[in-house]
Amino acid sequence: MSLIQIEEVSKVYGFGDATTVALDEVSLEIEKGEFIAVMGPSGSGKTTLMNILGLLDRPTHGVYKLNGKDVARLAKIKQAKTRRDQVGFIFQSFNLLPRLTVIENVALPLAYKHVSQTRRLKAAAQALEQVGLKDREYYLPTQLSGGQLQRAAIARALVNAPSIIIADEPTGNLDSVSARVVMELLSEIHKMGNTVLMVTHNPSLTRYASRILYMLDGNIVYDEATAIGEMPSRVQKAVNALRKSDDDEKLANVSAMMETMPDPSEPKEKKIEKKKKKPRKTKKTKRGKK
């Protein structure tokens, strides 16, 4: 049984003429222990997918099974409970509460459980030790650097021993040195057997992943397993292109690179199972929904 299984999941925002199809019948299976890097240009549906997988949001259509259990249409309160028990989130903006100390922030996911305060703080201290912040337990978030804040956020995501850790552009607000520390941590967490889903704009970070997804216009257009520590040649080329281009060109380059999509019949590229062949071009065509 897969840890995560979604089938033809769509997410439509808005009503009438002003609708956006953020996810367009996406199917995906994720096994326990994978480290998935999700790439794709802004607006391609990465955050929407993460929010649905992390039970922060629910699909408009489709099936979502987490640990074999149908969770797509849980009542709000059950959804929140499942999220607290099974998902750890790491955001680009860290999202620590400014008035709580670091250790209180990290203990927060346990506040909803029937766990004594002593045990909560003990678990939080352990998680902080794991991310190398033991000596910052009683600091306030404003007293930490960006890299330290993100490590605290990682400790918070771990404190519950969740089934999935979701990191949406976790290094987006960090300098390259802090980003590296955060990535090494995520990598360690992965090696301990955790399942990590990470959105990133930085192709070189895909080297930490065991599988790379690339999204475009609400679809997964590329899905490839990779050896950890390596980048598929296509991604490597994108990195090289990135080195010699300015920001605006960056994503265009990466997109263009990934759009020279693998032929689905090539044996090495796997797993894009769509019930009907989709046109390769990226422009969305209007499709009637049943």
Ligand X SMILES: Nc1ncnc2c1ncn2[C@@H]1O[C@H](COP(=O)(O)OP(=O)(O)O)[C@@H](O)[C@H]1O
Q: Which residues bind Mg ion (CB under 5 A)?
A: 46-47
Strand, coil or helix: 74: coil
Interacting positions 4-43 with ligand X (CB under 6 A): 13-14, 20, 22, 40, 42-43
Closest approach of ligand X to the CB of residue 172, in Å: 11
Q: Which does 130 bind (CB under 5 to 8 A by kind): ligand X, Mg ion, none?
A: none
CA dist 164 and 61 (Å) reads 22
Phi, psi (degrees; rounded to nearest 5) at 220: -90, 115
Nearest residue to Mg ion by CB is 47
Closest approach of Mg ion to the CB of residue 46, in Å: 5
Buried-exposed string 99-122: b where 16+ CB fall within 10 A, e elsewhere: eebbbbbbbbbbeeeeeeeeebbe
Query: Tokens 């890299």 — which residue?
Result: 147
Q: Are 9 and 22 in contact (CB under 8 A)?
A: no
Phi, psi (degrees; rounded to nearest 5) at 193: 110, 5
Q: Which does 45 bind (CB under 5 to 8 A by kind): Mg ion, ligand X, none?
A: ligand X
Of 166, 160, 163, residue with least CA distance to 38: 166
The nearer residue to Mg ion, 106 or 198, going by C-beta atoms, is 198
Closest approach of ligand X to the CB of residue 44, in Å: 4
Evaluate the CA torsion angle 47, 75, 120, 123 in order and state its sign. Answer: negative
Query: Would you count residue 170 as binding ligand X (CB under 6 A)?
Result: no
Closest approach of ligand X to the CB of residue 67, in Å: 24
Phi, psi (degrees; rounded to nearest 5) at 272: -85, 95
User: Quick one: angle between helices 117-130 and 146-158, nearest 10?
Assistant: 130
The nearer residue to ligand X, 14 or 132, going by C-beta atoms, is 14
Interacting positions 36-65 with ligand X (CB under 6 A): 40, 42-48
The nearer residue to Mg ion, 47 or 226, going by C-beta atoms, is 47
Closest approach of ligand X to the CB of residue 113, in Å: 29
The nearer residue to ligand X, 43 or 262, going by C-beta atoms, is 43
Phi, psi (degrees; rounded to nearest 5) at 156: -65, -40
Contact pattern for ligand X over residues 129 through 168, marking x by CB under 6 A = ----------------------------------------
Q: Which does 48 bind (CB under 5 to 8 A by kind): Mg ion, ligand X, none?
A: ligand X
Phi, psi (degrees; rounded to nearest 5) at 43: 85, 5
Closest approach of ligand X to the CB of residue 123, in Å: 31
Closest approach of ligand X to the CB of residue 1, in Å: 27
The nearer residue to ligand X, 13 or 112, going by C-beta atoms, is 13
Q: Which does 13 bind (CB under 5 to 8 A by kind): ligand X, Mg ion, none?
A: ligand X
What one-letter code names the amino acid at 192? M
Closest approach of Mg ion to the CB of residue 54, in Å: 13
Alpha helices (H) along 89-211? 102-107, 117-130, 146-158, 176-191
CA dist 264 and 272 (Å) reads 7
Of 34, 49, 44, residue with least CA distance to 208: 34
The nearer residue to ligand X, 15 or 233, going by C-beta atoms, is 15
Residues that bind ligand X (CB under 6 A): 13-14, 20, 22, 40, 42-48
